[in-house]
Chain A
Amino acid sequence: MKKITEMLKKVFSKKYRQRTVSYLIVVLAYLIIETAIKTGSISNTIKSLLVPTCSYIVAALALNLLIGYLGDLCLGQAGFMAVGAFFGAVASVFFSRFISGDVPVLILAIIVGGIAAGLCGALIGIPVLKLQGDYLAIVTLAFCQIIKTLLLNLYVGIDSKGLHFSFITDNTNMDPDGILVIKGAIGANVTKKLSSFTAGILLILFALFIIHNLINSKHGRAIQACRDNKIAASSVGISVSRYKLLVFVISAVLTGMAGTLYGLGFSSFKASKFDFNLSILILVYVVLGGLGNMTGTIISTTLLLVIPEALRAFNDYRMIIYSIVLIAVMLISNNAMIMYYLKQFKDHLKKMFPKRRTE
């Protein structure tokens, strides 16, 4: 018993609180939604949103690692998600030929999607990481467009001999028993939805685990040093470019995994889904949730995906209301006066309910 209270004290101590809260929120949300599904009190529209929400959260977490801790703006998240989705789709069809059972195939597909996106991250990271701020953002934006255009023209088929690729024209020379997985502008066809809400939650927990463990280590400190002052960081022997590339690749891997989860949540999807708007949307989640604040990112992503659905009743005006909510939140959270009153209110509450001293 004493050991348990000690454990609790440790995980809620100032050092670990942020981490614990973020894990707890995810687990709680999972339990609540799962019970709601079991009791049948959730509509089909919301149900169909669960997997995309999970994948947006993972992508937003990955972007928050990049913006909040490395301090670099990246507008290519949609591109990395697309790479993850399409490679994951091919991998899932490929592996399901040899492996029965959805779970191992999904895990393998997610790993393949992550690695593919990570390689893309390294590929564009090496030449462009010397750039900073707006310039880096524009290059990553261009990357996202290139990926989308390439995928719009890609044909991939699988038959008993293996994979067949073709570009621009459907010319894959497959055996008659082959399946065309990616059909250019028509998109990818995976025949079977492998992603589940449980898988999504597990991927969020995995992303949180990786990000928290990375940030709270000497590597995490070095990353933040590069953000705060590059010259000082290199003056104490920290290789700024190495750490930038590392974070860029880790962020790309997680985003790719999110993309695979997203893609395999549908029976078919198009490359045009992963456009510039998606990158901006993810950026909005991150900024609204707070830079470097993982719990905030999870909450803001969920809210911003739920609000448009909840506003279905005001169909004609819902995007207007959504935008107004967005503007209002940004203004309020950046207004010193309002934050001051909120803090006073919080202090007032603290005085009304004083904490019992445990010692």
Chain B
Amino acid sequence: MSEYVLETKNLGIDFGGLTAVNNFNIRVEKGDIYGLIGPNGAGKTTVFNMLTKVYEPSRGTILVNGTDIGKMSTIEVNRIGIARTFQNIRLFSDLSVEDNVKIGLHNSGSYSLADSLFRTGKFHSEEKRLHERALELLGIFRLEGFAEHKAGSLPYGAQRRLEIARALATKPCLLLLDEPAAGMNPVETQELMDTIKQIRDRFDISILLIEHDMKLVMGVCEKITVLNFGQVLMNGTPEEVQNDPEVIKAYLGD
């Protein structure tokens, strides 16, 4: 067993002749809240897409708890413990809020197709358990009052929280959050910071997040990697990153 929840070695991807990300190395330890920042177009979301195998990396290796996920599909990556949210929210917007979380719980429901077609006792007891578990997760994100609402009808901030709840429902060991605070007001952002710390402690997971809101990044992240033009600019603590001249140059220009 490796000591790192996530470790990448020289990860890179090309789109045609364009190298979007190159030599990307990151080490996320158990219990970390890790920030991935960088200017627009630096390749942050591309890294997430490689980690979840939405894109196939051109080179390099990804180890999750020491297991190479090189040959795995998006589904298998989720099953070994990586869950994510999306920059442009991808909820099942026609379904209810509760159903969205229940879809996240899909693989923990242990009844078969025959059970559901013939409504066996196992079906009913499992559905009851899934219902309770879904409400519990919604409760953490203060969404239990919206359980019956359509997911698409929720306000923007609530949709972001619902997406995190759905990702958590898959019982991950590593949670990838892609701009969780985008579109939130300062009060919601503050609440989100508390929630992020709370779910780390409660579910005993590691969190890797992309965020442009520096207040949130500096407030919750213990380690930060800065990405610029597909290359790692530096790794360090929030203080080191804030005072690094290279980082300031990348963000503000000369």
Complex contacts, B109 vs chain A, CB 8 Å: 218
The reply to whether B113 and A219 form a contact with Cβ atoms under 8 Å apart is: yes
Per the bound structure, the CA–CA distance linking A219 and B73 in Å amounts to 20
Complex contacts, B103 vs chain A, CB 8 Å: 221-222, 225, 233, 236, 238
CB of B166 within 8 A of chain A? yes
Residues 141-153 of chain A, each 1 if its beta carbon lies under 8 Å from chain B, else 0: 0000000000000
Complex contacts, B92 vs chain A, CB 8 Å: 224-225, 228-229, 232-233
Distance in Å: Cβ of B89 to nearest Cβ of chain A:
9
The reply to whether A224 and B78 form a contact with Cβ atoms under 8 Å apart is: no
Per the bound structure, the CA–CA distance linking A210 and B118 in Å amounts to 8
Task: Give chain A interface residues in 195-222, CB to chain B under 8 Å.
Answer: 210, 213-214, 217-222
Distance in Å: Cβ of B50 to nearest Cβ of chain A:
13
Distance in Å: Cβ of A56 to nearest Cβ of chain B:
24
Contacts A210-B117, A229-B91 given; indicate if A237 touches B170 (C-beta within 8 A): yes
Residues 81-97 of chain B, each 1 if its beta carbon lies under 8 Å from chain A, else 0: 00110100011111100
Distance in Å: Cβ of B129 to nearest Cβ of chain A:
11
CB of A235 within 8 A of chain B? yes
CB of B106 within 8 A of chain A? yes
Q: What is the chain A residue whose CB lies nearest that of B99? A: A221
Residues 160-189 of chain B, each 1 if its beta carbon lies under 8 Å from chain A, else 0: 000000110110000000000000000000
Q: Is the interface of A mostly helix, strand, loop or mixed?
A: helix
Per the bound structure, the CA–CA distance linking A196 and B95 in Å amounts to 39
Distance in Å: Cβ of B132 to nearest Cβ of chain A:
15
The reply to whether B116 and A213 form a contact with Cβ atoms under 8 Å apart is: yes
Q: What is the chain A residue whose CB lies nearest that of B110? A: A218
The reply to whether B91 and A232 form a contact with Cβ atoms under 8 Å apart is: yes
> Chain A: how many interface residues by the 8 Å CB criterion?
23
Among A213, A218, A222, A246, chain B packs the most CB atoms within 10 A around the CB of A218
Distance in Å: Cβ of B14 to nearest Cβ of chain A:
21
The reply to whether B116 and A238 form a contact with Cβ atoms under 8 Å apart is: no
Q: A228-B91, A235-B86, A237-B75 are in contact. List 20 more A-B contacts (CB 8 A).
A: A217-B111, A217-B116, A219-B113, A220-B116, A221-B99, A224-B94, A225-B95, A225-B106, A229-B91, A232-B86, A232-B91, A232-B92, A234-B74, A235-B52, A235-B83, A236-B83, A236-B170, A237-B170, A238-B75, A246-B113
22 A–B contact pairs at CB < 8 A?
A: A210-B117, A213-B117, A214-B113, A217-B111, A217-B123, A218-B106, A219-B113, A220-B116, A221-B95, A221-B102, A221-B106, A231-B74, A232-B86, A232-B90, A232-B92, A233-B92, A234-B78, A235-B54, A236-B169, A237-B106, A237-B170, A238-B103
